[in-house]
Amino acid sequence: MADAEPGGYSIETMLAAAASGFGGAVAPPIVQTSLFTFDSYKAFEDRMAGRSGDPLYTRVQNPTVAAFENLMAKAEEGEAAVGFASGMAAISSTVLAFVRPGDRIACIEHVYPDAYRLFERLLRPFGIEVTYHSVADFQQDPDLLKGVRLAYLESPNSVVFQTLDLAAVAAHARRHGTLTVVDNSWATPLFQRPLTLGIDIVVHSASKYLSGHSDTVAGVVVAGTDLIGRIRDLTLTLLGGKLAPFEAFLLTRGLRTLGPRMRQHQETANVFVDRLSAHPKVTAVLSPGPNSVPGLTGRSGLMSLELDASVDIPRLADALKLFRLGVSWGGFESLVLPTRIGLAQAGEQNSMQRFGVSDRVLRLSLGLEDPNDLWADFEAALSTSARS
Ligand SMILES: *Cc1c(COP(=O)(O)O)cnc(C)c1O
């Protein structure tokens, strides 16, 4: 089975087993405290001197957060994990832990728009150079990463969902001593585990599929012990973007249904890919499937499609009854995001404009409603939305 563990257990069996450890409780308690006290002077001193690992202060360590971090480390087959207050806190804290003025970051094109703004608006003025490259360049140019400190990758990338052969890029990066970071929010560890392909660090927006219920904003980073230790000591502690215990509780709850949810998202996505591909008004369907690159074993419910010029996109959006209009994705409810709206977003650093996305593209987040109901809604809206 695609999601089998080396030990023979599926990822969900492993997650259920790992969620215990609180005196027999199957769900972790929410340890809602800022600080932890010590029984003796010696225990306190040992902790401050680094001779014990007992929790001290929730900015850096909390048992509810640790329960989620341990699950994520297992799910991604990494040694350690660290939770953050948002996906952007995870991304910025990861990058800032490893780059210095004068360093260069090589980034995939069509990167998540706020990661792009982080690089352009915040890091560039601090003297960090950022260059953007296509999938083909990353895969085929073995010297692309020469002199590059960090490669910032998404596979698939945002809106256009182009996939990258992560093992090939990791091999190039190792030769040049470049650190590799992959945003795995789209695939989740159920469908792709970049660390097993040689990637150094995985980051997630846990606000999406990991949470799964559109009720949390959170992030997480998974990597080897040394890399996570550096992020924890440096940017978690000093920038302070910690994950809250209550959010960690919700995430632990969300992770338990990750498998069934992702399989349902995939089933609906397969229905949409088949029917959209055959629809006369649809000129492209952007949705990578299993094995479109080595290591990708499933299709999530986030995809894009391109419509021909006969479709009035605002009219289509307003005719939808089940799909709702909004940003984000990965929850129960289905959503549509017309790129026309993203392209019109205010601000000079607009990645959709920079990398060139057609305003005929719609992004769909297919939720957990019945696939045939969703298709009936979408098809009906499409058939009533001819330009007048
Ligand atoms: C949403 C998202 C992020 C940012 O995560 P937040 O939790 O909103 O901060 C990063 N990467 C991808 C691919 C996303 O979709």
**Pocket probe mutation, ligand 1, options 86, 92, 119, 185, max atoms within 8 Å of Cβ:** 185
Residue 162's pLDDT is 97
What residues pair up with 202 in beta bridges, in sequence order? 182, 222
The verdict on the CB of residue 82 being under 6 Å from ligand 1 is no
Residue 19's pLDDT is 61
Nearest residue by C-alpha to atom 2 in ligand 1: 205
The verdict on the CB of residue 88 being under 6 Å from ligand 1 is yes
Q: Both tokens of residue 100? A: 């210095």
Residue 1's pLDDT is 37
30-63: pLDDT as tens digits: 999 999 999 999 999 999 999 998 999 999 999 9
What residues pair up with 220 in beta bridges, in sequence order? 83, 204
Residue 16's pLDDT is 66
Helix (H, G, I), strand (E, B) or coil at 79: coil
The verdict on the CB of residue 157 being under 6 Å from ligand 1 is no
Percent of the chain whose predicted confidence (pLDDT) is above 70: 95
The closest alpha carbon to 206, from 244, 169, 237, 180, belongs to 244
Residue 345's pLDDT is 76
Listing DSSP states for 132-197 in one string gives EE-HHHHHH-TTTTTT-SEEEEESS-TTT-----HHHHHHHHHHHT-EEEEE-TTTHHHH--GGGG
**Pocket probe mutation, ligand 1, options 188, 204, 208, 304, max atoms within 8 Å of Cβ:** 208
Q: How far apart are CA 50 and CA 14, in angstroms?
A: 31
Give the predicted TM-score (pTM) of the model.
Answer: 0.95
- Ligand 1, atom nearest to 207 Cα: 7
Average pLDDT over residues 313-329: 96
Ligand 1 centre distance from Cα of residue 303 (Å): 15
344-385: pLDDT as tens digits: 776 666 888 888 889 999 999 999 999 999 999 999 999 998
Average pLDDT over residues 263-291: 97
Residue 18's pLDDT is 63
The verdict on the CB of residue 183 being under 6 Å from ligand 1 is yes
Predicted confidence band at 341 (pLDDT cuts at 50, 70, 90)? confident
Kindly state the helix (H) or strand (E) to which residue 154 belongs, with its residue range.
Answer: strand 150-154
Question: Is residue 17's pLDDT more than 80?
Answer: no
Residue 347's pLDDT is 67
Question: Is residue 233's pLDDT more than 70?
Answer: yes
Residue 23's pLDDT is 81
The verdict on the CB of residue 217 being under 6 Å from ligand 1 is yes
Listing DSSP states for 74-96 in one string gives HHTT-SEEEEESSHHHHHHHHHH
Question: Is residue 2's pLDDT more than 70?
Answer: no
The verdict on the CB of residue 84 being under 6 Å from ligand 1 is no
150-173: pLDDT as tens digits: 999 999 999 999 999 999 999 999
Q: How far apart are CA 67 and CA 80, in angstroms?
A: 12
The verdict on the CB of residue 185 being under 6 Å from ligand 1 is yes
Ligand 1 centre distance from Cα of residue 246 (Å): 19
75-105: pLDDT as tens digits: 999 999 999 999 999 999 999 999 999 999 9
The verdict on the CB of residue 363 being under 6 Å from ligand 1 is no
Question: Is residue 5's pLDDT more than 50?
Answer: no
| Domains of the chain and any CATH numbers | 11-30+62-256 (3.40.640.10), 258-383 (3.90.1150.10)
179-206: pLDDT as tens digits: 999 999 999 999 999 999 999 999 999 9
The verdict on the CB of residue 87 being under 6 Å from ligand 1 is yes
Phi, psi of 115 (to 5 degrees): -65, -40
Nearest residue by C-alpha to atom 1 in ligand 1: 205
